[in-house]
A and B are shown apart, each in its own frame.
Chain A
């Protein structure tokens, strides 16, 4: 029920179209049922000599053109009426198709847009833990199932019901007993269809599983190509694949066999039904109980009814799917969005940062950062060093308000960070992730992602700073080269360098390198750093790195361990400490040590 209401809401703005579609299918059905009636009247009363049985309006019309007798010489009139009815029916069919498509596509679009946007605003944490495959499945297949339900299935149900109602309505006055006889097997056919499609689900599942197994064997073979070749296992692989191929073949065949039973049995039932109607009606026509025209009508109607009834059985078994899909999409939309307070401040940010007794925990009682305090002046560089899990990344994530600290205070240019608008602060903090994501577009567009209006000249400049310009020019299409799935695959280091240029082009007053040079070799790393120094408008820079040469150049060095600052100061101050920093620094000057170790 909740789902139906949800669907009703999605239909907002398209409800009239949708009802228009339903009414159209009803009218189209009505006109399709009218043609046999015209044939009946023509056979019985125009060609034949039976008394005209028709509503008064039609009687009047016929009288006005000279009565039934006159029609006998003008048989083209009923012929034209048949065509005219077909055209009217066609017009309604067309509108049914158009309107239901418009409504269903609009709903699909609304759901897609809504889910997409909702996902964007879910918390950073949600996306760290998200199961991508499952989410994509919901956003695509489930939306498709709902769309299909609206566009075709619900209309088909409507069409079948209209057909059933109208035929009964027309047939009963003609001959109630014959109507009952004509409908006698229809419930059987309907139930048979429903039962079959419920049962066949199992066989479908088995076949899909077999298909999946065959595909994954194939995929493993293709990705493990070298292993196969290196062990000379081609023959073995062929046998392995053959096994899955056989299972897939046999299960698919089994399914088709089930369908062979379904079609033959349901056709048999349908033809028996038609045979019953034919014999009975012929006999009653002979006895004079009904006219020849009525006989034709009954036979035609039963033929017209059988197909939609079988469709109805199939669609009804599919109904549950649409409800499940609505649920699965509802689950995503029920996830809480990140709060983006509209009224936050948008101050001009220069880059003076001050942490005071900042504490942060993901889970209660397990602080990841504990009592962190330090100050940075604008334009200065802070380097953070520490073992895995010390809280380095969390610390810089706090700056971009990807998480909010629980205790203490962070001030940027004297303003409390929590008071600043989230989007605004993120625009001002250029956070470069360790594993950056590149979008499937050109290199240039990837760099311009953060500032679409940037000039080519600026793109080249930042690319030069990030030491990626020459690499890009080496590609056949230069900056127009596509990256990602359908383009070139870049190395980890190249991706990181692109991510750096992408952040630089925004000209943020604060820049954060979250170990974003880890896959770049040491020489390039040094080149990038010296290029950064030469830039005008120097930003306040945070660098997380495990390279001591990188760290040593910073104005302030923080050594973090288990969420606390254990050492703080500049290079000279820290080497006089006998701490972690000192130990790592010593490695640098161990040339003799190296030669020693090597022998």
Chain B
């Protein structure tokens, strides 16, 4: 049972959290410093332009120093060149910081995902993890880098304008700037509100996508149940909600701009009014008045940008928390420091210290539970000799898979011990055991790439000959050669270009190539045609030879050929023995077997 955990994160500003993310920029501290310098320069130059106008008006128009014009043009051109090259520079460098930052966080996240125990994945959908690793991290990278841009630019520009205005005429400056507190306050209020509204729009939007998805994939069911009108009714309810929410969001943003523009215009009006009086009294020059008017207009932009950035940082809080909690999760199954020192970790193994595995496996009083109230195994004991084939039979939820997962050390016992070759497997590294493991899943998983690459996954240094030999051993060679490009044929995403039988055979070849001492087969109940099934059957018997194997079995032929069959019910072995012994007992296994037999034979007769 899988449940999605979609916690509600509160949205205050968590300084520690953001600092932790910001620390990812540490290796790029030089770039960060350059970026800051560049942003300050951009802001200062921008703030200086109205001064140029001021100078031009006062010096050229009123004082007539026309001979200075070439110098003026030169200075103006220099500023323009400086500014645009700085713009080029800061975008490039912020881009570098952004991309490196996302790269680093992603790399760290991916590595952590490789270390986390399987139990971590039990209650998380792949889609959930994907969203953390893709869109959430992208968002963090953008906010850190471009947020820095806007913050440094915004504050510097505001400061520069204030300083210049105060310097030109401090009284007029104070009067014109009196609207700033209101501007800041309303900007912050609206930006937060707008983001919140758009978030609810996005939420409804994903419901619409869900409804379309359901409507399309469930169309046949809809027809059969004659649900068309009801469905449309429910759907229009959602789209109505969408329309209302979108309009509400749009109205908020349409209110924002007029309101702040109005407040801004009050600043301009004040400058014109009091500045005009001053000009008439010869208190200030015309140039100063014009500069003041431009400054009051320009002032609004940094405020708006800063308000937006802060609102965005706040709304990205959830992304930040989710990403960091993923990266900071400690794996449940960890090799001890001592073990790592001796045998290496999962990324840098010290193979020369590894013992060769024989394949004896012993469960000693093993208990296991996902949560304490529902024990799955209690005091479970099992002894498997090297080379033995064990078939596990029982209903879904009986505990078969748990036994296998414990043997593979995908989970560790909550109580008791498991020995591999007479040593507690916790005294060896995980990689040691798992490198000696062959694992074939119910629905075999292939990676996109060629057939050859997929088989080679079993042993990375295998030669071409060895790959072909492995494929031949499991009877995959013939069908591979029939493909246009043979071993170089693409398998498609998830192996989608191959039939499930073919995928099965390739996953066998991959396992054979790894030459594991312990083999686990989670058998499918899937409908494969008889011919392929026979090929698979033959392949299985070849693979099992000489390896300790656990099979979660469904096919009679596999079960029959096992050395020992364990019938598992509620975490206990209720029947154990080989096929003949169990048939004679006339118990659970007998019933299961006869039913299955009739079913399989019946199907076979109906297959033409």
Please provide the chain B residues from 220 to 239 with a CB less than 8 Å away from any CB of chain A in the complex.
Answer: 220-228, 230-232, 235-236, 239
Residues of B near A43 (CB, < 8 A) are 276, 286, 289-290
Q: Is A426 an interface residue (CB 8 A)?
A: yes
| A230-253 to B contact mask, C-beta < 8 Å, 1/0 | 111111111001100110111011
Judging by beta carbons under 8 Å apart, are B1 and A98 in contact? no
Judging by beta carbons under 8 Å apart, are B212 and A101 in contact? no
Please provide the chain B residues from 423 to 464 with a CB less than 8 Å away from any CB of chain A in the complex.
Answer: 431, 434-435, 437-439, 441, 445, 447-448, 457-458, 460
Taking a contact as CB atoms closer than 8 A, the residue among A236, A279, A389 that contacts B73 in the complex is A279
Judging by beta carbons under 8 Å apart, are B437 and A117 in contact? no
Q: Chain B CB within 10 Å — which of A42, A264, A523, A588 has the most?
A: A264
Knowing A229-B410, A272-B80, say if A245 contacts B69 (CB, 8 Å). Answer: no
Residues of A near B236 (CB, < 8 A) are 109, 113
Knowing A76-B273, A548-B598, say if A402 contacts B232 (CB, 8 Å). Answer: no
Judging by beta carbons under 8 Å apart, are A249 and B100 in contact? yes
- Interface stretch, picked from B29-37, B107-115, B315-323, is B107-115
Please provide the chain A residues from 46 to 85 with a CB less than 8 Å away from any CB of chain B in the complex.
Answer: 46-47, 72, 75-76, 78-80, 82-83, 85
Q: Is B28 an interface residue (CB 8 A)?
A: no
Residues of B near A130 (CB, < 8 A) are 216, 219
Q: Is A128 an interface residue (CB 8 A)?
A: yes
20 intermolecular pairs with C-beta atoms under 8 Å apart: A42-B276, A75-B274, A78-B272, A79-B269, A87-B262, A100-B250, A219-B126, A236-B460, A245-B106, A245-B110, A248-B103, A267-B87, A278-B53, A282-B61, A283-B69, A285-B57, A295-B57, A432-B224, A548-B598, A594-B594
Judging by beta carbons under 8 Å apart, are A113 and B594 in contact? no
Judging by beta carbons under 8 Å apart, are B133 and A218 in contact? yes
Q: Is A528 an interface residue (CB 8 A)?
A: no
Judging by beta carbons under 8 Å apart, are B95 and A260 in contact? yes
Bound-state Cα–Cα, A291 to B423, Å: 97
Knowing A86-B265, A127-B216, say if A75 contacts B91 (CB, 8 Å). Answer: no
Bound-state Cα–Cα, A214 to B493, Å: 13
Q: Is B583 an interface residue (CB 8 A)?
A: yes
Bound-state Cα–Cα, A76 to B84, Å: 39
Judging by beta carbons under 8 Å apart, are B254 and A94 in contact? yes
Bound-state Cα–Cα, A491 to B395, Å: 12
Residues of A near B250 (CB, < 8 A) are 97-98, 100-101, 105, 151
Judging by beta carbons under 8 Å apart, are B441 and A227 in contact? yes
- Nearest A residue to B560 by beta-carbon distance? A598
Residues of B near A591 (CB, < 8 A) are 594
Bound-state Cα–Cα, A547 to B599, Å: 7
Judging by beta carbons under 8 Å apart, are B447 and A235 in contact? no
Taking a contact as CB atoms closer than 8 A, the residue among A89, A223, A225, A594 that contacts B258 in the complex is A89
Q: Closest approach, in angstroms, between the C-beta of A399 and any C-beta of chain B?
A: 11
| B63-86 to A contact mask, C-beta < 8 Å, 1/0 | 010100100110011001101110
Bound-state Cα–Cα, A265 to B83, Å: 11
Q: Is A216 an interface residue (CB 8 A)?
A: yes
Judging by beta carbons under 8 Å apart, are A97 and B253 in contact? yes
Judging by beta carbons under 8 Å apart, are B216 and A135 in contact? yes
Please provide the chain B residues from 240 to 290 with a CB less than 8 Å away from any CB of chain A in the complex.
Answer: 240, 242-243, 246-247, 250-251, 253-255, 257-259, 261-262, 264-266, 268-270, 272-274, 276-277, 279-280, 286, 289-290
Q: Is A527 an interface residue (CB 8 A)?
A: no
Taking a contact as CB atoms closer than 8 A, the residue among A39, A128, A218, A521 that contacts B293 in the complex is A39
| A387-419 to B contact mask, C-beta < 8 Å, 1/0 | 111000000000010100000000000000000
Q: Is A116 an interface residue (CB 8 A)?
A: yes
Taking a contact as CB atoms closer than 8 A, the residue among B61, B223, B593 that contacts A286 in the complex is B61
Judging by beta carbons under 8 Å apart, are B254 and A588 in contact? no
Q: Is A452 an interface residue (CB 8 A)?
A: yes
Residues of A near B91 (CB, < 8 A) are 256-257, 259-260, 263-264
Q: Is B396 an interface residue (CB 8 A)?
A: yes
Count the B residues whose beta carbon is within 8 Å of the partner chain — how many?
A: 152
Knowing A120-B222, A278-B56, A439-B218, say if A387 contacts B251 (CB, 8 Å). Answer: no
- Interface stretch, picked from B11-19, B180-188, B600-608, is B600-608
Q: Is A595 an interface residue (CB 8 A)?
A: yes
Q: Is B546 an interface residue (CB 8 A)?
A: no
Residues of B near A278 (CB, < 8 A) are 52-53, 56, 76
Judging by beta carbons under 8 Å apart, are B272 and A79 in contact? yes
Q: Closest approach, in angstroms, between the C-beta of A402 and any C-beta of chain B?
A: 7
Q: Is B379 an interface residue (CB 8 A)?
A: no
Q: Is B325 an interface residue (CB 8 A)?
A: no
- Nearest B residue to A239 by beta-carbon distance? B347
Judging by beta carbons under 8 Å apart, are B396 and A491 in contact? yes
Q: Closest approach, in angstroms, between the C-beta of B214 and any C-beta of chain A?
A: 6
Residues of B near A46 (CB, < 8 A) are 276
Q: Closest approach, in angstroms, between the C-beta of A446 and any C-beta of chain B?
A: 10
Bound-state Cα–Cα, A230 to B441, Å: 11
Q: Is A599 an interface residue (CB 8 A)?
A: yes
Residues of A near B337 (CB, < 8 A) are none
Judging by beta carbons under 8 Å apart, are A437 and B493 in contact? no
Q: Is A108 an interface residue (CB 8 A)?
A: yes
Residues of A near B266 (CB, < 8 A) are 83
Bound-state Cα–Cα, A90 to B211, Å: 38
Bound-state Cα–Cα, A93 to B250, Å: 12
Judging by beta carbons under 8 Å apart, are A121 and B228 in contact? yes
Judging by beta carbons under 8 Å apart, are A595 and B583 in contact? yes
Judging by beta carbons under 8 Å apart, are A292 and B286 in contact? yes
Taking a contact as CB atoms closer than 8 A, the residue among B118, B270, B580, B602 that contacts A584 in the complex is B602
Bound-state Cα–Cα, A522 to B593, Å: 12
Q: Is B215 an interface residue (CB 8 A)?
A: yes
Judging by beta carbons under 8 Å apart, are B447 and A232 in contact? no
Knowing A249-B99, A283-B60, A488-B3, say if A136 contacts B261 (CB, 8 Å). Answer: no
Judging by beta carbons under 8 Å apart, are B220 and A124 in contact? yes
Bound-state Cα–Cα, A98 to B246, Å: 10
Q: Is A368 an interface residue (CB 8 A)?
A: no
Judging by beta carbons under 8 Å apart, are B595 and A260 in contact? no
Q: Which 7 A-B pairs have the closest CB atoms?
A: A97-B254, A90-B258, A256-B95, A101-B250, A230-B439, A86-B265, A260-B91
Bound-state Cα–Cα, A219 to B210, Å: 21
Knowing A260-B88, A282-B57, say if A80 contacts B99 (CB, 8 Å). Answer: no
Judging by beta carbons under 8 Å apart, are B608 and A388 in contact? yes
Judging by beta carbons under 8 Å apart, are A82 and B265 in contact? yes
Q: Is A532 an interface residue (CB 8 A)?
A: no
Q: Closest approach, in angstroms, between the C-beta of A305 and any C-beta of chain B?
A: 15
- Nearest A residue to B265 by beta-carbon distance? A86
Q: Is A497 an interface residue (CB 8 A)?
A: no
| A110-123 to B contact mask, C-beta < 8 Å, 1/0 | 00110011011110
Bound-state Cα–Cα, A289 to B231, Å: 72
Taking a contact as CB atoms closer than 8 A, the residue among B494, B598, B606 that contacts A387 in the complex is B606
Q: Is B408 an interface residue (CB 8 A)?
A: yes
Q: Is A35 an interface residue (CB 8 A)?
A: yes
Bound-state Cα–Cα, A245 to B242, Å: 36
Please provide the chain A residues from 30 to 51 with a CB less than 8 Å away from any CB of chain B in the complex.
Answer: 35, 39, 42-43, 46-47
Residues of B near A259 (CB, < 8 A) are 91, 95
Judging by beta carbons under 8 Å apart, are B96 and A253 in contact? yes
Knowing A233-B457, A246-B103, say if A216 contacts B493 (CB, 8 Å). Answer: yes
Q: Is B414 an interface residue (CB 8 A)?
A: no
Judging by beta carbons under 8 Å apart, are A387 and B608 in contact? yes
Q: Closest approach, in angstroms, between the C-beta of A229 and any C-beta of chain B?
A: 6
Judging by beta carbons under 8 Å apart, are A119 and B434 in contact? no
Bound-state Cα–Cα, A591 to B286, Å: 111
Judging by beta carbons under 8 Å apart, are A128 and B220 in contact? yes
Judging by beta carbons under 8 Å apart, are A230 and B408 in contact? yes
Residues of A near B438 (CB, < 8 A) are 230
Judging by beta carbons under 8 Å apart, are A218 and B95 in contact? no
Judging by beta carbons under 8 Å apart, are A216 and B448 in contact? yes
Residues of B near A486 (CB, < 8 A) are 4
Residues of A near B230 (CB, < 8 A) are 452
Residues of A near B268 (CB, < 8 A) are 35, 82
Taking a contact as CB atoms closer than 8 A, the residue among B118, B130, B255, B448 that contacts A94 in the complex is B255
Q: Is B579 an interface residue (CB 8 A)?
A: yes
